[in-house]
Amino acid sequence: MLHILFLFSLLFSAARGSVQDFCVADLTAPEGPAGYSCKKPAKVTVNDFVYSLSAAGNTSNIIKAAVTPAFAAQFPGLNGLGISMARLDLAPGGVVPMHTHPGATELLLVVQGTITTAFIDSASSVYLKTLKKGDIMVYPQGLLHFQVNAGGIPAIAFVSFSSSNPGLQILDFALFANSLPTPLVEKTTFLDEAQVKKLKAVLGGSG
Amino acid sequence: MLHILFLFSLLFSAARGSVQDFCVADLTAPEGPAGYSCKKPAKVTVNDFVYSLSAAGNTSNIIKAAVTPAFAAQFPGLNGLGISMARLDLAPGGVVPMHTHPGATELLLVVQGTITTAFIDSASSVYLKTLKKGDIMVYPQGLLHFQVNAGGIPAIAFVSFSSSNPGLQILDFALFANSLPTPLVEKTTFLDEAQVKKLKAVLGGSG
Amino acid sequence: MLHILFLFSLLFSAARGSVQDFCVADLTAPEGPAGYSCKKPAKVTVNDFVYSLSAAGNTSNIIKAAVTPAFAAQFPGLNGLGISMARLDLAPGGVVPMHTHPGATELLLVVQGTITTAFIDSASSVYLKTLKKGDIMVYPQGLLHFQVNAGGIPAIAFVSFSSSNPGLQILDFALFANSLPTPLVEKTTFLDEAQVKKLKAVLGGSG
Amino acid sequence: MLHILFLFSLLFSAARGSVQDFCVADLTAPEGPAGYSCKKPAKVTVNDFVYSLSAAGNTSNIIKAAVTPAFAAQFPGLNGLGISMARLDLAPGGVVPMHTHPGATELLLVVQGTITTAFIDSASSVYLKTLKKGDIMVYPQGLLHFQVNAGGIPAIAFVSFSSSNPGLQILDFALFANSLPTPLVEKTTFLDEAQVKKLKAVLGGSG
Amino acid sequence: MLHILFLFSLLFSAARGSVQDFCVADLTAPEGPAGYSCKKPAKVTVNDFVYSLSAAGNTSNIIKAAVTPAFAAQFPGLNGLGISMARLDLAPGGVVPMHTHPGATELLLVVQGTITTAFIDSASSVYLKTLKKGDIMVYPQGLLHFQVNAGGIPAIAFVSFSSSNPGLQILDFALFANSLPTPLVEKTTFLDEAQVKKLKAVLGGSG
Amino acid sequence: MLHILFLFSLLFSAARGSVQDFCVADLTAPEGPAGYSCKKPAKVTVNDFVYSLSAAGNTSNIIKAAVTPAFAAQFPGLNGLGISMARLDLAPGGVVPMHTHPGATELLLVVQGTITTAFIDSASSVYLKTLKKGDIMVYPQGLLHFQVNAGGIPAIAFVSFSSSNPGLQILDFALFANSLPTPLVEKTTFLDEAQVKKLKAVLGGSG
């Protein structure tokens, strides 16, 4: 019986060998709208599906915060699977400034400390909450949101995304960390010229 | 032959009567993640599929601009079909301020005048261009962008979206036209307190 | 502060540099079911996102009409973004003959003149309307439709599609501009042999 | 152990009871763009997932053919699952005339007899083949195609679709079985007036 | 200026009021293939978007493990957003037995302890790893996988899913906790009759 | 007129030549999450869209059954079109053992003999039925199911899938035909060690 059933195993193998259960990113091959090209199955190992977010990000910066992404570009096993993750470290007083993810909904989990956070919808309503350890909060796709450490100890959160390539547009960088001319920034944001020039200076923008 | 072929027509009708080629929104029935419930096919007429954007929006306002939407809520025939439209009117000096569409890519067509416009990507690169009549420009989903009248005459554009419900988040309204506390706005945008309070006053915000 | 915040900017750059906000088509690289391969981000400029449909199509032909497409193959910036456009020019008496778009819903905007148009659904119901400047009409995916100039002056319309690759199957070309044998055309369309042969001759078909 | 493990079973049941593995259509409740509302899980039985296509369609008609659909409207268990089926019966000389499925790709399987079939793509290329028992052929979404009995015995085929609601637009019915005015049919199809009037008469159309 | 800009705000409100940025589940209204019906926007509060997974599941059971779901049925704010979460508690010796999620990819994050885990692909290859705090692992959609506490202390993990309704099929419950006749289980799993009867008894199955 | 209309044909050809109605798999080029790269349209022929499942699979094996797949890897014309097929041959006493398709819903059609079949949902409910010729049954995506010949003659069925790459995970192969250590199999399935070792031996597994 062993022999015959084993033959049966071979019989099925044509179907099984051709199956694409996953598409681990080959970052050196062409990328398309649906994601990166797939690594050859024979070269895939368990390590393609494992990544570490154990290291705290460096919060020795002006915002006292760090975002460590595990998107498809960092964690190729996620490619095309519609999910990804990032780690947020917020020292006391830390802030992840106002931003959006153009391509994904975000689900945040607090694992240490307390975090005050909000998103704002198309009707300009604010959904504001202070979260504690074990709380989760969802930010619907593409809407502005932020996170602020609400306590005296470092806060840590892990955020999941509904895409392996969620994108990240930080408002201040979008407005001030490039060469978009100051008069256009003023005109399209109603900010004062002095304010625009001040933040352009801080963030390395020009114009 | 007439008779027999006509019978054949009836034969096929079981299949044809049950087909859902479209789902005109019944705005009074439940709405789900994929859109509104469908109006009964027997009540659908050609007028459900036609809408008018012939009227200029009223640009007698501080931004000298108007956006007239034809999304599923205004134009029920679009429901579930993955497309919608809006009309932009920009008087001389007019501006459609910095905004995003959380749920759609936008494709703009200039039909009168000239428009200076840009979008900014996740890497803070600016894609800036002055468009003239007949030019089209695409703004990838969820990214910040704006439009400014670049000439001395009224400009008109029509924008199409890759969703029947694209959303519209105007940056200034999201930041200043609600009760998000000023200290949180400051902390998450790096704007000065005076700047925040000034714009909250203008846009009817509090806090 | 400038220095430290600028460092923070670099900190985020790993995440931001890997983000795929768009996938401008590289027409020389492999194409997949979701669209063309992406051009390297470093080579993308604003001109990849801008295209011109300002030129009138040549209507000096038997149908007195022209269709100028701006699909992903002509306008690579659209690749994978789920939207595209085309310009219709209809001289007096002009007609865009009966056709379908196999892969997209169409949304038409009249910008000059008047256009009589209809689509037909799976139950053979006709949705017929004469549109004037500023009117928009939606044609659900895959259904037969046409446009006819309804006035004495040239008509112009711009049509948007819910795909960057909508397809275009013109009924007469599908039936008569190829080598599908006349007896098969007759048998599957109920058209008379003479009619089939006449149109095959006109449209360059054989068989 | 039995007792404790059984408790564990209850523990999991909160998660399991809330899961939507399927959404059997409740044809009396609201329908949306993604399909019909779901029947309550407690009322679902195996018979919701089983349907019979064992009965031959009635081919005593002018086309000597019959199409028996098993779409979501006939077979509610398919609702939302992205697949459906139909049975084709073709008596000798029978034909399923030129048609499209606006919302699905079709995969045909011949189980009896021989069938000559073709589809035509957007470039007007014809993909023509005579299929025998056990052959399968795929017709990409939205493209014109037909089936003709190529032998002296009844042919039977089963066609699968990539949607539970594929749609069915039969060319002759779309053109001639309604009130679309004859001059518009002529103008948009290049068919002669006599041809149009003849087929309108046969198919019960007017105008 | 305040007055005029405020008017502008009202001008935009037609567009903004109709936008569906989210669709918080109304669990009492009809459910469709894309998810639950939406709660009226006016009744939505921030609490619809927040949920707590702070409580440890009860691991006083034979598997010394607990799964606490936060799917759309428990956490209505997730409805239609393509993401959800669950908490895993594994006491020393605990195991989440072999299972699949028919509708989602899973991304696991270890926040305490060590976990030995594997998934098996269509080619029967095993991807086995022992994860420690801060490690993440992805399990592609629909494949068999399990988690086992690999240390002497309680382990905690949070798993995210690429759907708000991922499903959960636990192998032993599927095989043994129902009335599927023992001979059919034997025949389709190659398990011995005694083994099947033993596990049916433990899990409350019959037949 | 012939001449002019023919010119018109050329006019349209720019649009038509660039259209991607299908994407026949080029199995030698990169594969991505959405499927294989496309063969150049100029090299595509009707034979890319036709495949034969006329040959009975070899049922001279322990399960007296055979599965012959026509997925994208065997039948390249299906690539990206969201549908595929397989042939099941079940000799008397034959069984297709418990399995899942991680990426697709299955629709089974019996064309000869009788088949007893069931699927099991997330709540462990069993949907069991004996099907006869002409019956169809749908198995929602990712759920465990099996087929057993219920009569004294060979049974034949054709199964369609809602993906061109449905996957196939056979339970016994996943559990026993690899090197997953016996203690882990025991612990995660509650099977007895002897049972696990027996089936590992039969199926060629180790550990």
Q: Write the pLDDT tens digit of every residue in A106-118.
A: 999 999 999 999 9
- Per cent of chain D over pLDDT 70 is 91
Which residues of chain C neighbour A63 with C-beta distances below 8 Å? 5, 8
Q: Are F127 and F121 in contact (CB under 8 A)?
A: yes
- Report whether D106 belongs to an annotated binding site: yes
Q: Do chains F and C touch (3 or more CB pairs under 8 A)?
A: yes
Q: Which residues of E touch D (CB under 8 A)?
A: 30-34, 57-58, 61-63, 66-67, 69, 71-74, 86, 102-103, 165-168, 170, 173, 177, 201-204
Residue contact E135–A85, C-beta within 8 A? no
- pLDDT per position in chain D (207 positions), as tens? 444 444 454 445 444 444 579 999 999 999 999 999 999 999 999 999 999 999 999 999 989 999 999 999 999 999 999 999 999 999 999 999 999 999 999 999 999 999 999 999 999 999 999 999 999 999 999 999 999 999 999 999 999 999 999 999 999 999 999 999 999 999 999 999 999 999 999 999 998
Give the tokens for residue A113. 């400390």
**What are chain E's partners, defined as 3 or more CB pairs within 8 angstroms?**
A, B, D, F
All structural domains of chain E with their residue ranges: 47-51+61-167, 174-203
Provide CB contacts within 8 A for D174, sequence distance 6+: C120, C124, C144
Which residues of chain F neighbour E98 with C-beta distances below 8 Å? 175, 188-189
Angle between helices A182-189 and A193-203 (to 10 degrees): 120
pLDDT single digits (tens) F25-70: 999 999 999 999 999 999 999 999 999 999 999 999 989 999 999 9
- E77 pLDDT exceeds 80? yes
Considering only CB atoms, E50 lies closest to which of A75, A137, A158, namely A137
Give the tokens for residue A187. 């005109």
Report the distance separating Cα B110 and Cα B136, nearest Å.
Answer: 7
- C15 pLDDT exceeds 50? no
Section A116-135 average pLDDT: 97
Please write down the HEC assignment for all residues of F57-82.
Answer: CCCCCCCCEEEEEECCCCCHHHCCCC
Q: Both ends of chain B: CA-CA distance in Å?
A: 79
Assembly ipTM = 0.92
Residue contact C120–D169, C-beta within 8 A? yes
* Nearest residue in E to F97, CA atom: E188
Q: In this predicted structure, what is the pLDDT of residue E6?
A: 47
- Report whether F3 belongs to an annotated binding site: no
Nearest Cα to Cα of residue C19 among A161, B134, F45: A161
Q: Do chains E and B touch (3 or more CB pairs under 8 A)?
A: yes
Residue contact E20–B31, C-beta within 8 A? yes
Considering only CB atoms, B160 lies closest to which of C129, C134, C160, namely C160
- Binding positions of B are 99, 101, 106, 145
Residue contact A18–F168, C-beta within 8 A? no
Reduce the DSSP state of residue F108 to 3 states and report it: strand
Which residues of chain E neighbour F95 with C-beta distances below 8 Å? 187-188
Which residues of chain F neighbour C71 with C-beta distances below 8 Å? 15, 18-19
Counting one residue from chain B and one from chain C, the pairs whose CB atoms sit within 8 A come to 157
Q: Are A72 and A84 in contact (CB under 8 A)?
A: yes
Q: In this predicted structure, what is the pLDDT of residue F12?
A: 52
Which whole-number Å values give the CA distances from B95 to B54, B88, B124, B146, in the listed order? 20, 10, 21, 8
Give the tokens for residue D7. 């408790």
Residue contact A170–C12, C-beta within 8 A? yes
* Nearest residue in A to C8, CA atom: A61
- Report whether D31 belongs to an annotated binding site: no
Query: Max Cα separation, chain A?
Result: 84
Q: Are C161 and C105 in contact (CB under 8 A)?
A: yes
pLDDT category at E100 given cuts 50, 70, 90 is: very high
- B14 pLDDT exceeds 50? no
Q: Which CATH architecture has domain F47-167?
A: Sandwich (2.60)
**What are chain B's partners, defined as 3 or more CB pairs within 8 angstroms?**
A, C, D, E
Residue contact F123–D17, C-beta within 8 A? yes
B/e letters for C120-129, b = 16+ CB within 10 Å, e = fewer, are bbbbbbbbbb
Q: In this predicted structure, what is the pLDDT of residue F20?
A: 76
Report the distance separating Cα C29 and Cα F37, nearest Å.
Answer: 10
A contact test, residue of F89, F168, F176 with most A CBs within 10 A: F168
Considering only CB atoms, D80 lies closest to which of E33, E166, E177, namely E33
Report the distance separating Cα F207 and Cα F161, nearest Å.
Answer: 34
Residue contact B174–A120, C-beta within 8 A? yes
Tell me which DSSP letter residue B159 carries: E
Residue contact B62–E4, C-beta within 8 A? yes
- Per cent of chain A over pLDDT 90 is 89
Report the distance separating Cα D107 and Cα D145, nearest Å.
Answer: 12
- Domain D47-56+63-167 sits in CATH 2.60.120.10: yes
Reduce the DSSP state of residue A206 to 3 states and report it: coil
Considering only CB atoms, A136 lies closest to which of E53, E81, E106, namely E53
Q: Both ends of chain A: CA-CA distance in Å?
A: 79
Nearest Cα to Cα of residue A20 among E39, C124, F69: F69
Q: Please list the residues that pair with D107 across neighbouring strands.
A: D138, D160
pLDDT single digits (tens) C21-72: 999 999 999 999 999 999 999 999 999 999 999 999 999 998 999 999 999 9
Q: Are B171 and B144 in contact (CB under 8 A)?
A: yes
B contact test, residue of A90, A124, A182 with most B CBs within 10 A: A124
Report the distance separating Cα E202 and Cα E51, nearest Å.
Answer: 34
Which residues of chain D neighbour F128 with C-beta distances below 8 Å? 46
**What are chain F's partners, defined as 3 or more CB pairs within 8 angstroms?**
A, C, D, E
Give the tokens for residue E119. 């998934």
Residue B62 C-alpha, separation from nearest chain E C-alpha, in angstroms:
5
Which whole-number Å values give the CA distances from D161 to D100, F160, F168, in the listed order? 12, 9, 20
pLDDT single digits (tens) B34-78: 999 999 999 999 999 999 999 999 999 989 999 999 999 999 999
Which residues of chain E neighbour D9 with C-beta distances below 8 Å? 173, 177, 203-204
- Binding positions of B for oxalate are 101, 106
- B134 pLDDT exceeds 50? yes
Report the distance separating Cα A105 and Cα F44, nearest Å.
Answer: 40
Which residues of chain B neighbour E80 with C-beta distances below 8 Å? 32-34
Q: Are D148 and C187 in contact (CB under 8 A)?
A: yes
* Nearest residue in D to E177, CA atom: D9
Instruction: Judge residue F87's burial from the number of C-beta atoms within 10 Å of its C-beta, 0-12 exposed, 13-18 middle, 19 or more buried.
Output: buried
pLDDT single digits (tens) A6-15: 445 444 544 4
Report the distance separating Cα A49 and Cα A51, nearest Å.
Answer: 7
**What are chain C's partners, defined as 3 or more CB pairs within 8 angstroms?**
A, B, D, F
pLDDT category at E20 given cuts 50, 70, 90 is: confident
Residue B172 C-alpha, separation from nearest chain C C-alpha, in angstroms:
23
CATH topology of domain B47-53+62-167: Jelly Rolls (2.60.120)
Q: How many residues does chain C have?
A: 207
Section C93-98 average pLDDT: 97
pLDDT single digits (tens) A80-98: 999 999 999 999 999 999 9
Which whole-number Å values give the CA distances from A186 to A189, B126, C55, in the listed order? 5, 15, 35
Which residues of chain F neighbour D145 with C-beta distances below 8 Å? none
- Per cent of chain F over pLDDT 70 is 91
Considering only CB atoms, F67 lies closest to which of A15, A33, A36, namely A15
DSSP string, D82-146: S-EEEEEEE-TT-EEEEEE-TT--EEEEEEES-EEEEEE-TT--EEEEEE-TTEEEEE-TT--EE
Residue contact B15–D201, C-beta within 8 A? no
Which whole-number Å values give the CA distances from A195 to A34, B193, B194, E99, in the listed order? 40, 11, 10, 56
Section B111-118 average pLDDT: 98
Residue D21 C-alpha, separation from nearest chain C C-alpha, in angstroms:
27
- Report whether D3 belongs to an annotated binding site: no
Nearest Cα to Cα of residue A37 among D119, F36, E16, C2: F36
The CATH number that domain A59-167 falls under is 2.60.120.10
Which residues of chain F neighbour C165 with C-beta distances below 8 Å? 19-20
Considering only CB atoms, A109 lies closest to which of E85, E118, E136, namely E85
Instruction: Judge residue C35's burial from the number of C-beta atoms within 10 Å of its C-beta, 0-12 exposed, 13-18 middle, 19 or more buried.
Output: buried
Section B142-155 average pLDDT: 97
CATH topology of domain E47-51+61-167: Jelly Rolls (2.60.120)
Q: Do chains C and E touch (3 or more CB pairs under 8 A)?
A: no
The larger pLDDT score, comparing residue B154 to residue B18, is at B154
Q: In this predicted structure, what is the pLDDT of residue A20?
A: 76
* Nearest residue in D to B8, CA atom: D61
